[in-house]
Amino acid sequence: MAPGSALREETLREVETLGAADIVVGIPSYNNARTIGHVVRAVTTGLAKYFPECAAVIVNSDGGSADGTPDVVAAAEIGAAKALLLRQPARPAQRVLTAYQGIPGKGSAFRAVFEIAERLGARACAVVDSDLRSITPQWVELLVGPVLHEGFDYVCPLYARHKYDGTITNALVYPLVRAVYGRRIRQPIGGDFGFSGALARHFLTHDVWDTEVARFGIDIWMTTTALVGDFRVCQAYLGAKLHDAKDPGAHLSAMLAEVSGSLFRQLEAHAPFWQQIEGSQPVPEFGFHYEVGLEPVAVDVPRMVNAFRHGMRDFAGLYGTILSPDTLAHCDALTRVDDDEFRMPGDLWVRLVYEYAVAYHARRPNPAHLLATLTPLYLARTASWVREAAAYGAPEVEAALDALCLRFEALKPAFLAAWHEGRFRT
């Protein structure tokens, strides 16, 4: 491995033989043989159809798959998709298959993509997940086009998702990023992004590759780094993102500590920037909005409510050190509400998120214990959302989430004061 690099020596030599490229598309993977062939074919077709004159390289940055994932990438062919092409591309996309070096995780895989883009002098880049079932060739146009043709540096995805899917983004990531950083980026951790070569080089100047960013915090790190670096940001509507959707109460709660920890660490890193921000502004948007069929998401509300009650009992001592007395009293009162009447108000959830951010900043208690105790509260809010949104269509869902975001924005001055004092006032 080259010193301070995610690339093996043989990969460096292979990249050197390629010389240069206009576009680099990265596909990180780990045991994705079942799905990655479709992703590679969609990307290859998208590059050929929408950027036929550009020199393009597809990079499979693999984490040591044992199921033959790199072999699937190497063998994937456009096949019948050639019918989509008006003419053959002048410069067919090349492929680089590399096992990245460094801490196992998505961030290390992305670092390898950034390095290859820098070495090839790429003008535009994109990264897409390797387990996508809904990716189409047009995704490539929507992620890369705003960079090449409109001068944007960072393209965030906009997806159509089931109202019970993406609950961590809807309840926590989107409203907190919008309120704190002042930009209305709907999917800050969407997973599929476009970015300029200049931004890729900027990412590489940060010494974060031996931290949690290399494991699971790369998406929010990229988004916040682009925002505080004053790069031009937009978002693109990609339609549905189909994946193996899960019950948010049964499966997604385990992700919460990783996501919230990444968010809170970025608040620490960028405090001088976001403390000057007031309100929020929309970001430019590309793509044609259209209705899509969405896969249903099964939910178990009683289990989420029960987990909340158990958590309030099990973590009672820790909650006393994290939450203000008034907030704790409101949460405790919810444990005595009948199941049919159970609701965690949006205002209470906003207060909880900000109080957790303050407690993380004050190291009260240690971060690992702090983040573990957030799960029961998140499940209570998710259970409430499921009941609130039961009859909502897509417009009503977005209206309700916008109202939640405005509550986050309204409480930001109190959050800022508590950040400096180390605790919310009752």
What's the pLDDT score for residue 184? 98
Beta bridge partners of 233: 154
At 320, phi and psi to the nearest 5?
Answer: -65, -25
Torsion 46-49-51-54 (CA) sign: positive
What's the pLDDT score for residue 77? 79
Q: Are 190 and 277 contacting, i.e. CB atoms less than 8 angstroms apart?
A: no
What's the pLDDT score for residue 94? 94
pLDDT along the chain (426 residues), means of 10: 78 95 97 95 95 96 95 80 49 90 95 98 97 94 98 97 92 98 97 97 96 94 97 96 60 80 96 96 95 83 95 96 96 94 96 98 92 95 95 95 98 97 84
Strands 23-29 and 56-62: what pairing?
A: parallel
What's the pLDDT score for residue 295? 79
Sheet holding 23-29, edge to edge: 94-99, 56-62, 23-29, 124-127, 193-196, 154-160, 233-240, 285-286
Domains detected in the chain: 9-286 (3.90.550.10), 301-414 (no CATH)
What's the pLDDT score for residue 81? 44
What's the pLDDT score for residue 47? 96
Q: Are 380 and 308 contacting, i.e. CB atoms less than 8 angstroms apart?
A: yes
